[in-house]
Amino acid sequence: MDILSDSISHILWHLPVDWTVVAQQVTDPNILGQMEKAFTNFVKSGQMWAMLIGFFIGYMFRNLTSFG
């Protein structure tokens, strides 16, 4: 594993600087607005209920299959 790690770090050390990503262009900087829109869509589309039902069924299945 040490040889693999050394090889990868040796390869990454010699990459040209132009090849690495230094910055990116942000088109919509309103992060909180995007999070609010995503959460609203999560609730309106019914995915919230699916997640809660999945948690409940998973919890019940775990309790039924655990020993002690």
Residue 14 lies in a domain: no
Residue 10 lies in a domain: no
Helix boundaries (H) for 19-65 = 31-44, 47-65
pLDDT of 61 reads: 94
The 10s digit of each residue's pLDDT in 45-65 is 999 999 999 999 999 999 999
20, HSE (Cβ side, Cα atoms, 13 Å): 7
Residue 4 lies in a domain: no
Residue 19 lies in a domain: no
Residue 13 lies in a domain: no
Residue 52 lies in a domain: yes
pLDDT of 47 reads: 96
**Cβ atoms of 8 and 2 closer than 8 Å:** no
CA distance 33 to 41: 12
Q: Which two tokens stand for residue 18?
A: 């132009």
**DSSP code, position 19:** G
Domain span including residue 30: 25-68
Give this prediction's pTM: 0.52
Which amino acid, one-letter code, is at 40?
Answer: T
Residue 12 lies in a domain: no
- Look at the chain and report how many structural domains it folds into: 1
Residue 40 lies in a domain: yes
